[in-house]
Amino acid sequence: MGKRVGMEVSIAAAEAVKQANVDVISAYPITPQTHIVEHLSEVVANGELDAEFFCVESEHSAMSICIGSEATGARSFTCTSAQGLALMAEMTYIASGLRLPILMIVANRTLSAPLSIWNDHSDAMMIRDCGWIQFFVENGQEVYDHVFISYRVGEDRSVLFPTIINMDGFILSHVIEPIELIEQEKIDQFLPPYQPLYRLHPDRPVTMGAFALPAIFAETKKAQEVALRSSMPKILEVWKAFGDMTGRYYHPVETYKAEDAETLLVTMGSIGETASVAVDQMREEGRSVGLVKLRLWRPFPFEALKQATLHAKNLVVIDRCVSVGGPGGPVASEVKSAIYGEPLRPTVYNFVAGISGRDVAPFDFIKMVDKAEIEIEEGKKDGYEIYGVRE
Amino acid sequence: MTKPEYEWTWKEIPVGNVILEPGNASSYRTGDWKSFKPILNKNLCIHCGLCYIFCPDMAYNLDEEGYFIADLYYCKGCGICAKECPTQAITMVVEEEK
């Protein structure tokens, strides 16, 4: 077993990037991602990691450099938040279209306006369809672990996709947690050096990023779509291998006291830990409530989600982002789509909660479950509310 | 290996739409959207080759008589050659529908 060390989650993330032996780091500092980049620049300056550290003038350039370096076969890393991710958005689609297995950590933060630096998932949802593998982790250990998992999955010849690890800004990034560090020899075994399928090299020239006319664009998109969906078995396989190495087994959908529950809370990200406290309290009162947590956002785990939820009567889906003028929160949309084809399915009640860093305490989950259960009982089919707003 | 775009299936496309055959753009007719084409007046041409040097698409080739001639299979009709020609030997004329 590795050493357990108390450290800030951002530092643990940076340590993982160091242990993953990346070749290129290119990032622009933005709250709340800053500590990750600061620590990595120290690590490179101190000679602890033999990598190129690019101080760029914008996030657009940060991702552009990662695309270029990854295209030459260099393992590349970047991280950002909110407005930075928005500025980078154009290039995220190019990284996935070119199938370059870059890793990016997003310390999730609210998109302005109004200007806010606090946590929710509006930044991640802005690029929901960018074609990357996307994880939402729950605590610092998961951030640390998923750096290795992401590179191993993304760089696999059967996958070749960039990966985003979404971690809640401040709630995770600035919190000190006990992190179990993995010995370097084990990491080196788990994560061999990157062997690119194609790379920019004068000995064997290739063209990346060529123009595609309408006659071929749809074929390229279908190839990308099928490949991202097909990465699921490899993700499961790598999670299994990681579990065998560390004892920490991960799944696309996690359940907590969910098997026999009539009402299920559905969460994504760090809020799941708070929700589990609320579930314990409600269970003590004899209520039939459980919890389902989404860890894998893309490729979306349709089957695992159905398995975890179809037996329930009510699903109380918590979103951390408003789809303004749309059908509710993006997680609820996806959940509804996943279960729509089933003859017997639970009724979904959607709450948007904790946007822009507003605390969501265990009693808030209990209030949400109370309201959803009563209204669904009264026949409401399309419950949707931004929770806790003063009237 | 190169074949027309409309013959490729999604399964055949290399990962990331990478082009593995260097220079295969020469197999594709890329000059079919031009609205003007360059016409050379050989009486004025001094064989300086500026058209050849400035052509952004390398459409110009030296023929056996020592004239630089635009290959209309690739020429996009940008007119840079006509603009740069020091003796105004090149004029851009409207491309006619075939």
Calpha distance A196→A198 (Å, rounded): 5
- Residues A79-129 have pLDDT tens digits of 999 999 999 999 999 999 999 999 999 999 999 999 999 999 999 999 999
Residue A321 DSSP SS3: coil
Residue A98, token pair as written in the block: 């070119």
CA dihedral A153, A148, A106, A98 (to 10 degrees): -40
Question: pTM to 2 decimals?
Answer: 0.93
Q: Do A227 and B8 touch (CB under 8 A)?
A: no
Chain segment A339-377, per-residue pLDDT in tens: 999 999 999 999 999 999 999 999 999 999 999 999 999
What is the DSSP annotation of chain B?
----GGG--TTTSPGGG-B-STTGGGGS---TT-SEEEEE-TTT-----HHHHH-TT--EEE-TTS-EEE-TTT-----HHHHH-TT--EEEEEPPP-
Mean pLDDT of A1-17: 94
Percent of chain B scoring above 70 in pLDDT: 96
Q: Which of A188, A368, A345, A184 lies closest to A271, judged by CA?
A: A368
Q: Do the Cβ atoms of B8 and A216 come within 8 Å?
A: yes
Taking phi over 0 as left and psi of -120 to 50 as alpha, with beta for the rest, A213 belongs to beta
pLDDT for the residue B31 = 87
Q: Closest residue of A to B20, CA-based? A: A206
DSSP character for A262? Answer: S
Contact (CB<8Å) A205/B22: yes
Using CA atoms of A335, A340, A345, A351 in order, give the dihedral in degrees to the nearest 10.
Answer: 30
User: To 10 degrees, the CA torsion angle through A44, A45, A47, A51?
Assistant: 30
Give the Cα separation of A35 and A30 in Å (integer). 9
What single-letter amino acid sits at A69?
Answer: S
User: Three-class SS of residue A88?
Assistant: helix
pLDDT (average), residues A304-323: 98
Mean pLDDT of A213-234: 96
Distance CA A279, CA A162 (A): 35
Q: Which helix (H) or strand (E) holds A284?
A: helix A271-284
| Residue A1 confidence class, pLDDT cut points 50, 70, 90 | low
pLDDT at B74 over 60: yes
CB pairs under 8 A between A and B: 55
Q: Is the pLDDT of residue A314 over 80?
A: yes
Per-residue confidence (pLDDT) for residue A50, from 0 to 100: 97
Chain B closest-CA separation from residue A33 CA (Å): 29
pLDDT at B1 over 80: no
Contacting residues for A378 by C-beta, under 8 A, at least 6 apart: none
Contact A301, A293 (CB under 8 A): no
DSSP code per residue over A19-72: HTT-SEEEE---TTTHHHHHHHHHHHHTTSS--EEEE-SSHHHHHHHHHHHHHT
Question: For residue range A132-173, what is the model confidence (pLDDT) as tens digits?
Answer: 999 999 999 999 999 999 999 999 999 999 999 999 999 999
| Overall average pLDDT of the A5-18 stretch | 98
pLDDT tens, position by position, A225-259: 999 999 999 999 999 999 999 999 999 999 999 99
Closest CA to A345 of A298, A381, A294: A381
What value does the mean pLDDT take over residues A311-324? 97
Mean pLDDT for B16-42 is 89
The helix/strand/coil state of A173 is coil
Find, among A60, A12, A54, A334, the residue nearest to A176 by Cα: A12
Instruction: Using alpha carbons, select from A154, A153, A17 the residue that is nearest to residue A79.
Output: A17
| Element holding A179 (H helix, E strand) | strand A176-181
Confidence of residue B97 (pLDDT cuts 50, 70, 90): low
**CB of A346 closer than 8 Å to CB of A310:** yes
Radius of gyration, CA atoms only, chain A: 21
Q: Which amino acid is at A32?
A: P
List of chain B residues whose C-beta atoms are within 8 Å of the C-beta of residue A219? 8-10, 13
Distance from CA of A99 to the nearest CA of B (A): 5
A206 vs B contacts (CB less than 8 Å): 18-20, 22
Residue B62 pLDDT:
96
Six token digits for residue B15: 């990962």
Distance from CA of A266 to the nearest CA of B (A): 35
Q: What is the mean pLDDT of residues B63-82?
A: 96
Q: What is the pLDDT of residue A11?
A: 98
Looking at the complex, report in whole angstroms how far the Cα of residue A143 sits from the nearest Cα belonging to chain B: 28
What is this model's ipTM? Answer: 0.87
